[in-house]
A and B are shown apart, each in its own frame.
Chain A
Amino acid sequence: MSRVVVIGAGLAGLVAANRLASAGVGVTLLTKGIGGLQLSQGTIDVLGYAPDRVTNPVLTLSAIASARPGHPYAAIGAAGVHTGIEYLKQLLPDLLVGDAEANYQLPTAVGAIRPTCLVQPSMVAGHLKDGAKVAVVGLRRLKDFHPALVAENLARTTLPDGGRLVARPVSVDVPARDAEVDSSGLTYARAFDDPAFRARFAAALKPLLGDGETVGLPAVLGLKDRTAWSDLADKLGHPVFEIPLPPPSVPGMRLNEALMASAKAAGVRVVNGTRAVSVRVEDGVVKGVTVATAGADREFTADAFVLAAGGFESGALALDSYGTVTETLFGLPLAGLDAGPLVHGDYWGPEQPLFSVGVRVAGDMRVLDGNGAVVHPNLYAAGGIIGGSSRWAEKSGDGIAVGSAVVAADSILEVLA
């Protein structure tokens, strides 16, 4: 028996499992599949909009924490987020750069400029300054990246700190696999792991680049080879940056694989393909979680449990056809249900209240009921299951995940000690 069971292998679950295991506690990580990181942009957001564009995320989240007591950051606190961000950087020193006091402003695959906190080294050159000259390069066989859309929107955008840039689209046609016209980002990422492919690609692209141009490319510059992007930049003789794509996200896969590897190295027992279906609670204390596996259901017991199963996107929260929202494993009390209609018809209007529904947590990340009482003394929540924020609009989901994960882990360590 492990002392802690973590449910969910997204950013929150992986960070919590790593932190617990590296402190010497036995951890079992239950996951029904691959976590949400590869659906993400592959950077670490802390706070991007509040609702204006944020330049110093930790400073701004402190303000949110005091103004909005229902926001996850009110429970996690600036210190918790700071600890989480530092811990993540320490876990992934080759993959993440930046600090919690400043946002990068990076182009997206539609040409918006998006604030985010920690980024992969391959993205840093995308933080563009006034007067920058950018060649946005698309691959003709990759349908999720359209260089004209990115370049022309960037070219008509005023940069967050003022100033403008010059951007133009460039298209190259270098097949990732012979005769395949519809290659995914993952297929290209694997091709970019191969130095010979990078040489071919650079030879095709280099003549198309102008003096002083920074090169924006879809974020497919290698999956295993962490130097693929810098090698390509060397071959091109131009600075290069990656622009994240819709899923499957190669930068997200890099984070996922690195965090999973470090968890396993720290001794986390990862049990994949295990959808948690029920729980056993005795005298209010969670005793075990049962997972559905082939043959027979199986119970995992522990002293403490971390629910890091995500929100609606993963099925951890569900809304039925009668309008009832449930947390699907424990049936936990949910906050955010009493503020009127959960959805409205104005797509570009205010955030849909539905996607702020979730559990409420105490400062130690234990789940609270509507009266503010702890529901189960040994149940902690981390990540998207915590309600009170519009994660995608705020660009706050990763900071909430990482912050709540380390606070939950540290609270558990304290109790177990």
Chain B
Amino acid sequence: MRKLAVDVVVIGGGSTGAGVVRDVAMRGYSTVLVERADLGQGTTGRFHGLLHSGGRYVVSDPLSATECAQENAILTRIQSQAIETTGGYFVTGPDDDPAFADKFLEGAKATGVPAREISVAEALRNEPRLNRRILRAIEVEDGTVDGWQLVWGAANSAKAYGAQVLTYHRVTKIDTADGQVTAVHCTDLKSGEDVLIECGFVLNCAGPWAGQIAAMAGAHPVDVIPGRGIMIAMNHRLVNRVVNRCIYPADGDILVPVHTVSIIGTTDVKVDDPDDLAIEHAEVQQMLDAGEVLIPGFRSSRALHAWAGARPLIKDSRVSSSDTRHMSRGMAVIDHTTRDGLDGMLTIGGGKLTTYRLMAEHIVDAMCEKLGEKRPCRTADEAIPGSESGKNYVVTHRLEEREHDRLDDQIICECELMSRRMFTDALASQPKGTFDDLRRQLRLGMGPCQGGFCSMRATGIALESGHIDIERATGLLRLFLKNRWIGLWPILYGDQVRQTALDNWIFQGTLDVEHLPQPESEVAL
């Protein structure tokens, strides 16, 4: 058994946990983050990529709107490399109520969300694929954000301040003594080793899984109701700005250009288990219909991949109103002292990716108050490593990079312009990673061919790197193909069928990959 001792254990490696561990570390506490999978593998990696301008909430939730607008400006500065300042439109569809736009503009003014009505002609000039029958258009400062870059950026910043980040560590038990949390037990899933982390405080940032964690500390049941939302990535950027329906927040009301794709979202369906998120046929159809309203011909555009995420909604009757002073909008902090008589633990639920830094600030403030210490938050003042220049992401950046190294390096994934060196560097930093772990940082296999050409190359290069043996290499290829299919088959129509036929032709037809020696058990992580 490995033993560690820290001031604070942060549980959960999504945006909340990453933001919290950064904040905790920057305030001078020793800390470790534990995550049962990879960073950003849960809810954070399964959203549509929107960095809110606040526009979405100017009517329904004005305080959220203001928070979003402020945090948007901060993140665009401190995590510039993860964020593209696309701008956004709120457009009134042909059958939407045009009066909502008036409420929108009033709300924007009242909440400090920058917004300006533009002519329909101007909107159509800038976004020629938009429905020509839209009635009104309002320009806002929406951006797009790569959730994985965001989380890894925050984690790397935390590490620079001495934090440890343990991925693939599953929490198995939380020790308490005399009504105080004393230690967290986890298992290193890659090695099977048990790890004991003695600590003075636990911040439970496990999102949809927060109830399971709280139960380990013996707290009263925390009622987490995961809300499933599905997203579909369409090939190419059908729009270059975020396009929102100018209506009260609803399903399928947004199209977000992220990297080389555009993502339509989303739905909201209550589910029982955040680990079992189906991508229902009816919801896919609903998204495609919604896409048609914004972009005529949407259904005949090529869908590449679909996924589902679980919103971490906490409905907890035991949260007293006095606990809300440290809360961001949409966020719930459960104070286990007042609720369960348990010191040294706070549980955080809800929240939005755009306000993840602010949520972290509030939570860590709450912790400091409990510990009777005054340590100010500095996370808004300092850029995370890699974003010091303040230069924002642009979609063409890889094109530029490949122009520079095309004579020295191979392109392993043509769809996403991933070079061989990018892959080998990422592998060296995460030698136990799966190809999906590497994908989240590199976009390996996320383009139109969905791994058809690059995954065999990745397997060969990974094997040659010496980090893994042939059984794992072959197992990782099998796992990657299987995982790609999870997001492919629910949206398999149109040109992606043709691509899939070609991919099957390559993998079954030419490579006979299904007749490689069968593993005794499949590689799972």
Contacts and interface: CB of A to CB of B under 8 A. Distances in A.
A355 interface: yes
Interface string B104-141: 00000000000000000000000000000000000000
B510 A246 contact: yes
Interface of B: 285, 288, 299-300, 303, 406-412, 420, 452-453, 456-457, 459-461, 463-464, 469-471, 473-474, 477-478, 481-482, 484-486, 489-490, 492-494, 497-498, 500-502, 504-506, 508-517
Interface in A340-371: 343-345, 347-348, 352, 354-355
A145 B461 CA distance: 10
A319 B494 CA distance: 6
A347 B481 contact: yes
Interface string A10-40: 0000000000000000000000000000011
A120 to B, nearest CB: 14
Contacts of B502: 39, 247, 313
A110 B459 contact: yes
Closest 4 CB pairs of A and B: A146-B460, A313-B501, A152-B470, A392-B508
Interface string A301-333: 000000000011111001111110000000000
B504 A392 contact: yes
29 contacts: A39-B502, A108-B510, A108-B511, A110-B456, A112-B512, A112-B515, A113-B515, A114-B511, A114-B515, A144-B453, A146-B459, A146-B460, A149-B456, A181-B409, A181-B410, A182-B409, A245-B510, A246-B453, A246-B511, A313-B505, A319-B493, A320-B299, A321-B285, A321-B299, A323-B493, A348-B514, A354-B492, A354-B497, A393-B508
A175 to B, nearest CB: 12
Nearest to B516: A112
A384 to B, nearest CB: 9
A238 to B, nearest CB: 23
Contacts of B509: 40-41, 391-392, 395, 397
Helix, strand, loop or mixed for chain B's interface?
helix
A355 to B, nearest CB: 6
A111 B408 contact: no
A345 B498 contact: no
A18 B457 CA distance: 38
A48 B484 CA distance: 26
Contacts of B506: 39, 246-247
A148 B464 contact: yes
A190 B456 CA distance: 24
Nearest to B412: A143
A179 interface: yes
A178 to B, nearest CB: 11
Contacts of B299: 320-321
B420 A143 contact: yes
Contact of A320 (B456, B494, B498, B510): B494
Given A319-B497, A321-B493, A355 B474 contact: no
Nearest to A384: B501
A348 B459 contact: no
Given A146-B457, A149-B474, A247-B502, 11 more contacts: A39-B506, A48-B512, A110-B474, A113-B515, A114-B511, A114-B512, A149-B460, A246-B506, A312-B497, A321-B285, A352-B489
B404 to A, nearest CB: 14
A249 interface: yes
Contacts of B477: 110
A249 B516 CA distance: 21
Interface in A113-153: 113-114, 141, 143-146, 148-149, 152-153
Given A108-B510, A112-B515, A143 B457 contact: yes
A322 B303 CA distance: 13
Contacts of B406: 182
Contacts of B513: 108, 110, 112
A355 B504 contact: yes
Contacts of B501: 311-313, 355
A40 B511 CA distance: 10
A31 B504 CA distance: 23
A314 B505 CA distance: 12
A228 interface: no
Interface in A387-405: 391-393, 395, 397
A156 interface: yes
A312 B497 CA distance: 7
B493 A152 contact: no
A312 B510 contact: no
A314 to B, nearest CB: 8
A157 interface: yes
A146 B464 contact: yes
A88 to B, nearest CB: 18
A181 B482 contact: no
A244 interface: yes
A156 B459 CA distance: 17
Given A246-B456, A312-B498, A321 B516 contact: no
A348 B485 CA distance: 10
A144 B456 contact: yes
A345 B494 contact: no
Contacts of A191: none
Contacts of B490: 345
Contact of A393 (B471, B486, B514): B514
B504 A321 contact: no
Given A146-B463, A149-B459, A319-B494, A110 B516 contact: yes
A149 B457 CA distance: 10
Contacts of B493: 319-321, 323
A109 interface: yes
Contacts of A145: 460
A345 B485 contact: yes
Given A143-B420, A146-B459, A312-B501, A181 B511 contact: no
Contacts of B500: 312
B489 A344 contact: yes
B463 A181 contact: no
A109 B492 contact: no
A238 B123 CA distance: 68
Most buried by A among B453, B486, B504: B504
Contacts of A352: 489
Nearest to A146: B460
Contacts of B508: 392-393
B462 to A, nearest CB: 9
B432 to A, nearest CB: 19
Contacts of B459: 110, 146, 149
Contacts of A392: 504-505, 508-509
A140 to B, nearest CB: 9
Nearest to B504: A392
Nearest to A313: B501
Nearest to A179: B407
Interface in A141-183: 141, 143-146, 148-149, 152-153, 156-157, 179-182
Contacts of B470: 148-149, 152-153, 156
Nearest to A114: B512
Nearest to B420: A143
B517 A153 contact: yes
A319 B498 CA distance: 9
A345 B489 contact: yes
B457 A112 contact: no
B298 to A, nearest CB: 9
A325 to B, nearest CB: 9
